[in-house]
Structure 1
Amino acid sequence: MNTVNRWSRFTHWSMALAVSAALLAGCASIRQTPAPTLAANDAVAIAPIANFTETPAAGGSAAAIAANVLRANGLKDVRIAPVEGSGNAMFDTAQRDTGDRRLAWAREQHVKYVLAGAVEEWRYKVGVDGEPVAGLTFELVDVESGQVVWSAAGTRSGWSRSSLSSVAGSLIGGLLAPLRPTQPRS
């Protein structure tokens, strides 16, 4: 009888855990291509992130979070690329003619990769609950070839008591998780 009660409790906890995981998984969506092999000393520049939202400075916030995530992932040389003097993002992904300037700057700085991206959504939903929601896309460009070697897109929403920065940080952390340096073999 005691074994049956233990099994029953285990089954209830397992079911509760499975339901919780399913609910949390429904709050986020991430799609990405396979990541390239990175070394800890590869220099990565974060280009100004295009802001396609109505939230001021969402692109700057996303770039700052992305830089910190990449450093936490183990990359030692993560830089923030400069913004063009006119106030527009020099590397705004909406302006395809800036690709040559982005790569020229990165080559001058001896950067191996440039992380570009766009903020598609960065707000609190309208309504009683006011849930935070973030949506982003990223592209990792190999400076030498000019080719996109990795890309990712994702969205995440939180509960009404969540902050927008925590939801965005979680999303960016999930998106950039594959961009970790390989561990040297002993």
Structure 2
Amino acid sequence: METAQHGARTALALLVTLLLVSCAGPSQEWARPGAARISKLAVLPFENQTSSVRPGASVSELLVSELLASGPVAVMDPSEVADLLRRENLDPADAGRLPSAQRMGRLLQVSHVLQGAVTEYRYRPGLSETPVVGVTARVVDVATGDLVWTASYARSGSSWRQEGLSSVAQSIARDMAAHLSGALGDARAR
């Protein structure tokens, strides 16, 4: 009887640990100490580095929604960002080079530009398919050209909770918005 109770407690402890790990924050995050607060942020469409069709656009849209909901960061309307990039014939993937990110930011008239990539967006095969999402992001201060914040997230969902890819991506976007707002959010907007 004692062995059965011990086994049940061990299984419960493992389950709780697994849940906590699957809800964890960024795998890596860095913010420049003393960096200027964000007065207005342009979120560029995320680069898609996966074989899936549209996760880059989906994750950047989720992030904009989460940033708007979190409050302390003013975010430029994504349709205005897309229009200007199209009009100026600019590729968001070029924002990976700091001079390009600065130029885009100046054209968009924002203080900071967020550029990112979806590095993984798939179901991991196995006994049951588990959703897996990986995202990297970075923020450039338009005035200085400095990289002021960067993070990478890798998260697995749960097949037994019937969690989908978009649910895992939403969780990452929510955490990313919270960490970014805390690190660089404009205190006046709080």
Asked if TM exceeds 0.5, the reply is yes
Letter in structure 2 aligned against 1:126: P
Name the CA distance, whole Å, in 2 between partners of 1:100 and 1:66: 24
Q: 2:5 matched to which residue of 1?
A: none
Name the CA distance, whole Å, in 1 between partners of 2:167 and 2:36: 28
Name the CA distance, whole Å, in 2 between partners of 1:56 and 1:120: 13
Alpha-carbon distance, 1:20 to partner: 4.4
Deviations 1:124-143 (A, max 9, x none): 12234111110000001101
| Structure 2, unpaired ranges of 5+ | 1-8
Asked whether the equivalents of residues 117 and 135 of structure 2 are also in contact (C-alpha less than 8 Å), the reply is yes
Q: 2:178 matched to which residue of 1?
A: 177
CA RMSD of aligned residues (A): 3.0
Q: 1:57 matched to which residue of 2?
A: 54
Residues 53 and 141 of structure 1: is their aligned pair in 2 closer, same or farther, counting only changes over 3 Å?
same
Name the CA distance, whole Å, in 1 between partners of 2:36 and 2:175: 17
Deviations 1:61-93 (A, max 9, x none): 0110111111112123333232755xx971215
Name the CA distance, whole Å, in 1 between partners of 2:90 and 2:132: 23
- Which of the two has higher C-alpha Rg? 1
Q: 2:82 matched to which residue of 1?
A: 82
Residues 72 and 16 of structure 1: is their aligned pair in 2 closer, same or farther, counting only changes over 3 Å?
farther
Name the CA distance, whole Å, in 1 between partners of 2:77 and 2:105: 10
Provide TM-score, normalisation by structure 1. 0.75
Alpha-carbon distance, 1:53 to partner: 0.2
Alpha-carbon distance, 1:21 to partner: 3.9
Alpha-carbon distance, 1:106 to partner: 1.7
Residues 143 and 183 of structure 1: is their aligned pair in 2 closer, same or farther, counting only changes over 3 Å?
closer
Report which stretch shifted further, 58-67 or 169-178.
169-178
State the SS of the aligned residue for 1:33: strand
Q: Superposition pairs for residues 33-182 of structure 1, below 5 Å?
A: 33-34=30-31, 36=35, 38=37, 42-74=39-71, 75-80=73-78, 81-82=81-82, 85=86, 90-92=91-93, 96=96, 99-160=98-159, 161-180=162-181, 181=185
Provide TM-score, normalisation by structure 2. 0.74
Higher helix share: 2
Residues 170 and 51 of structure 1: is their aligned pair in 2 closer, same or farther, counting only changes over 3 Å?
same
Deviations 1:22-43 (A, max 9, x none): 212332452101365636xx11
Name the CA distance, whole Å, in 2 between partners of 1:22 and 1:72: 29
Asked whether the equivalents of residues 70 and 78 of structure 1 are also in contact (C-alpha less than 8 Å), the reply is no
